[in-house]
Structure 1
Amino acid sequence: MELKIPNISASMNGEVDLFEVMKSLEDNPIDRFSWGKVDPAPMVCFKIAHNNKTILLQYDIWETETLARYSNHNAPVCKDSCVEFFIAFEGEQNYYNFEFNCLGTCHAAWGSDRNNRQLLKSTIINQIQEHTKMQRAIKNGLPLINWQLSLQFPLNVFSFDDIDGLIGKKATANFYKCGDDLCQPHFITWNPVKAEKPDFHLKSHFGRIEFL
C-alpha cells in the first residue's frame, strides 16, 4: 500500500491546535487480519500529517475490552491494548518501532530486525507529546470502549537519523493494533503481512509513504 502524508503547515495560523486542523483529513483503516479475525473485531483507523518538523498521528479505536497495566516507558505495552507505528526512512536498513498502550506509555527502539534493537532513552521518548481520551459508547449496536491517542513526533525523536525536514521525504512504514494479553488476542495491520505467525517486525512488508 502507499500513503501520501499531507503537509498541514499552510493551515496553521498563530496559536492553533494542530489536531483540530487534522479533523478534515482522511481516515486510514487498520483492518488486515493476517492471523485470524476475532469477533467482534476491534475497529481501528488512523490519521497522519506533518508540518515539516513534526509527524502528527491520531489513532481511533473501538473495542470490547481494554487493558492498561504498564506505566513505565519501554515496558512490554504490546500486551496491553496497544497501537504501533513502525517506520524506516528511505535508504536506511534500520527502522524505528513506536508502541503505545491506551495510557500513552511508549516502548520505542531502533534496529535492523526484531532481535537487533536498541531502546530509545526515556529522555528521547518524553519528547513525544501524547494525549489520550477514553469513553464508553455504542457503535453498530454494540457497547464498546472508544479510545483515542493523539501523538506528535518531533524530528529529534528519530535520534539515530539526521533529519532536518520532512517535506519530500520518503519512507516505508506500517501501522498496527494488537493486544497480546487480552481475552481475545488480536494482531491487525494496515499493510498486509504474510507470515505464518504474528510478526510486526517484517520490514519487507511495510507500505510506502511520502511526506508531501
Structure 2
Amino acid sequence: MKHYTISSLSNKIKQNEIDWHHIPALHIDTYPWFEQGSKQTTVVKLAASPTHLYMQIVAQDNHSYAIQTQLNHMLICEDSCVEFFFSPSGELDSDYINIEVNCCGTLHIAYGPNRDKRAFISLESASKISCLTSISSPIKLEQAQDNSWQVELVIPFKVIEELTSKAVNLKTWFGNFYRCGGRIEPQYAVWNTIDVPQPDYHRPEYFGKLVFED
C-alpha cells in the first residue's frame, strides 16, 4: 500500500498564495492495463487547511479532449480526466467519494459503498468548490500543439460533509488516484496498483493511505 502525506496549510491562506513547488507530489504512473501508446506523466499534489482541501493536477497530454460540460455527467471519464477516490471516514473499505474532473474543469462527484449505489453532489454544494484550469474554454478538441493541462481544486470539508452526512476525519484517509479518458491514446493509469483484469476504478480494497500532516 502506497502512502502520501497531505501538507498542512494555514486556515487564512488563499488559493493563489499556495507555493505548490514546496508541496510533495504523487505520481499516477502505474499502468495495470497497458497495451500500447505513450505513458503520459500525471502529477497530483494535496494540501489542507483546517477547513479546505486543496488539490493540484498537472497532466502531460498530447491529445487533450473534453466535451462534457454537465455536472455529474456519466461520461466525464471518457474525456481527458483525472479521478480521486477516497474514504473521508478514515476507514478502509468504507463508503467512498469519487471526484472526477476533466481538463476543462467539469466535475463528477458522488458518494456510496460501490459502483452502483452512488449519491451525487448537488449543484448547490458543487458551486462552493473552486476550480481553476489552464484551458479557458468549456470544451476541448485535440490540437497539434497539445502538451499538458492543469487543474486546481479547492474543496471545503463542509461540502464533503453535506454529501456524506458524516464528519470528515482529518487524520487519515484511504484513497486512490486515476488518469483516464481521451480519444487518442487513452490513459488508464493508477497511483496505487489495482490487480484486476479489466479497467475498474471502483476498487476501494486497493486504496492507498493518505495522512494529514500535523
Q: TM-score interval w.r.t. the shorter chain?
A: 0.7 to 0.9
Higher strand share: 1
3-state DSSP of counterpart to 2:166: coil
Which sections of structure 1, spanning at least 5 residues, go unmatched? 136-141
Paired amino acid for 1:170: T
Of 9, 33, 36 in structure 1, the residue corresponding to residue 34 of structure 2 is 36
In structure 2, how many angstroms separate the alpha carbons of the residues matched to 1:165 and 1:36? 35
When residues 164 and 62 of structure 1 are mapped into structure 2, their CA distance, relative to the original with a 3 A threshold, is: closer
Fraction of identical pairs, as percent: 26
Note the alpha carbon deviations across 1:171-200, whole angstroms, 9 max, x for none.
101111100x51222211111111110011
1:29, 1:190 within 8 Å by CA — same for their partners in 2?
yes
Alignment correspondent of 1:139: none
Alignment correspondent of 2:166: 162
Tell me which moved more, 61-70 or 30-39: 30-39
RMSD: 2.1
3-state DSSP of counterpart to 1:153: strand
Which sections of structure 2, spanning at least 5 residues, go unmatched? 137-143
Paired amino acid for 1:175: F
Task: State the 1:38 CA deviation.
Answer: 3.9
Could you state the TM-score of these two structures normalised by the residue count of structure 1? 0.86
In structure 2, how many angstroms separate the alpha carbons of the residues matched to 1:134 and 1:46? 17
When residues 171 and 65 of structure 1 are mapped into structure 2, their CA distance, relative to the original with a 3 A threshold, is: same
In structure 1, how many angstroms separate the alpha carbons of the residues matched to 2:84 and 2:188? 13
Task: State the 1:143 CA deviation.
Answer: 6.1
In structure 2, how many angstroms separate the alpha carbons of the residues matched to 1:204 and 1:77? 23
3-state DSSP of counterpart to 1:208: strand
3-state DSSP of counterpart to 1:184: coil
Alignment correspondent of 2:116: 115
Of 122, 126, 148 in structure 1, the residue corresponding to residue 150 of structure 2 is 148
Could you state the TM-score of these two structures normalised by the residue count of structure 2? 0.86
In structure 2, how many angstroms separate the alpha carbons of the residues matched to 1:15 and 1:3? 22
In structure 2, how many angstroms separate the alpha carbons of the residues matched to 1:52 and 1:33? 34
1:177, 1:188 within 8 Å by CA — same for their partners in 2?
yes
Task: State the 1:96 CA deviation.
Answer: 0.3
Paired amino acid for 1:63: D
Note the alpha carbon deviations across 1:68-92, whole angstroms, 9 max, x for none.
1011101121010001111102137
Alignment correspondent of 2:79: 80
